[in-house]
């Protein structure tokens, strides 16, 4: 047996069994309760939290963000997923269009890709020059220090997916009409440049993994475990407390006082199910 095959077999044997959907939903429900507590604490205290998600295409960023957002208020938790920059935005200071989305008091902002586009896709795909990428990597630690010193809790996640699992997920998008929108021409071009992305990631970590804004890496081949681990870690990085709330009781509903339902010809939705 080849050495690499023996290594792969050993890793597979050591890997934990995948969570069943029932187990996953049970643990996620507990974490949703804590995310709501975090939400209420942020509202009460005026805290500002910024969460950055980065990783290769198919690494599971969107699914993790969806799991976080499932039971919280979009008025407190905001997801930012910016399109390609306009001509005007391309003429701005690079981080300018991202800074405008940073949280104000009582907000949690989640970046589904962020200013680190310059260190990743823009650099690998040639949308910026090497000089621009190097200047960005040199400048961004100071920018993030300023963000943190302004009172923002900044948490950065990199989701690490294996080449085999990335291939499986991208191929699944081709065959699933519900997911085909998630596979852009850019995804196809970037798929072949695995090691260019690896080098770009390594440079990014070396330059921007700082004491005030460190990178946290989560292996995401097992999507369910990755989501639970990331949410658990996120909750551990914020010193939130449960905010006391008065016991809620529904008030009495008003009396009819002669009201009658009108005989109006409503246009009803056909009951096909």
Q: What is the CATH number of the domain that holds 138?
A: 3.40.50.300
pLDDT at 10: 45
Residue keyed to tokens 């920018």: 143
pLDDT at 185: 82
**Domain residues for 221?**
32-237
Helices H / strands E in the chain, number of each? 11, 5
First to last CA, the chain: 55
Per residue of the chain (273 residues), give pLDDT as tens.
444 454 444 444 455 677 899 999 999 999 999 999 999 999 999 999 999 999 999 999 999 999 999 999 999 999 999 998 999 998 999 999 999 999 999 999 999 999 999 999 999 999 999 999 999 999 999 999 999 999 999 999 999 999 999 999 999 998 888 988 888 888 888 899 999 999 999 999 999 999 999 999 999 999 999 999 999 999 999 999 999 999 999 999 999 999 999 999 999 999 999
Give a yes or no: residue 269 inside a domain: no
Which residues are registered as beta bridge partners of 51?
110, 155
Give a yes or no: residue 144 inside a domain: yes
Give a yes or no: residue 119 inside a domain: yes
Give a yes or no: residue 248 inside a domain: no
Q: In this predicted model, what pLDDT tens digit does every residue of 67-95 receive, in sequence order?
A: 999 999 999 999 999 998 999 998 999 99
The answer to whether the CB of 8 falls within 8 A of the CB of 65 is no
Give a yes or no: residue 258 inside a domain: no
Q: In this predicted model, what pLDDT tens digit does every residue of 18-47 receive, in sequence order?
A: 789 999 999 999 999 999 999 999 999 999
Number of domains the chain is built from = 1
Give a yes or no: residue 245 inside a domain: no
Give a yes or no: residue 272 inside a domain: no
pLDDT at 170: 92
């Amino acid at each position: 047996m080849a050495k690499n095959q023996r290594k792969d077999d050993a890793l597979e044997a050591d890997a934990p069994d995948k969570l069943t959907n029932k187990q996953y939903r049970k643990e996620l429900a507990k974490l949703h309760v804590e995310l709501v507590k975090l939400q209420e604490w942020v509202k009460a205290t005026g805290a500002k939290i910024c969460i950055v998600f980065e990783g290769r295409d198919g690494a599971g960023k969107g699914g993790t963000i969806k799991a976080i957002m499932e039971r919280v208020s979009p008025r407190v938790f905001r997801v930012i997923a910016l399109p390609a920059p306009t001509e005007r935005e391309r003429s701005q200071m690079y981080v300018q269009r991202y800074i405008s989305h940073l949280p104000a008091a009582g907000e949690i902002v989640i970046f589904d890709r962020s200013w680190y586009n310059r260190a990743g896709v823009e650099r690998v795909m040639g949308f910026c020059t090497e000089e621009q990428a190097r200047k960005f990597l040199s400048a961004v630690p100071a920018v993030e220090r300023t963000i943190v010193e302004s009172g923002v809790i900044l948490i950065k996640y990199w989701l690490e997916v294996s080449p085999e699992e990335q291939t499986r997920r991208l191929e699944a998008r081709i065959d699933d009409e519900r997911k085909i929108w998630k596979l852009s021409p850019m995804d196809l071009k970037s798929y072949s440049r695995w090691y260019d992305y690896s080098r770009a990631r390594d440079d990014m970590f070396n330059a921007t993994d700082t004491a005030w804004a460190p990178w946290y890496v989560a292996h995401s081949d097992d999507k369910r475990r990755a989501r639970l681990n990331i949410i658990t870690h996120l909750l551990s990085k914020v010193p939130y407390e449960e905010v006391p709330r008065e016991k809620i009781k529904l008030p009495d509903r008003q009396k009819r006082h002669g009201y009658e339902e009108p005989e109006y010809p409503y246009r009803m939705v056909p009951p096909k199910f």
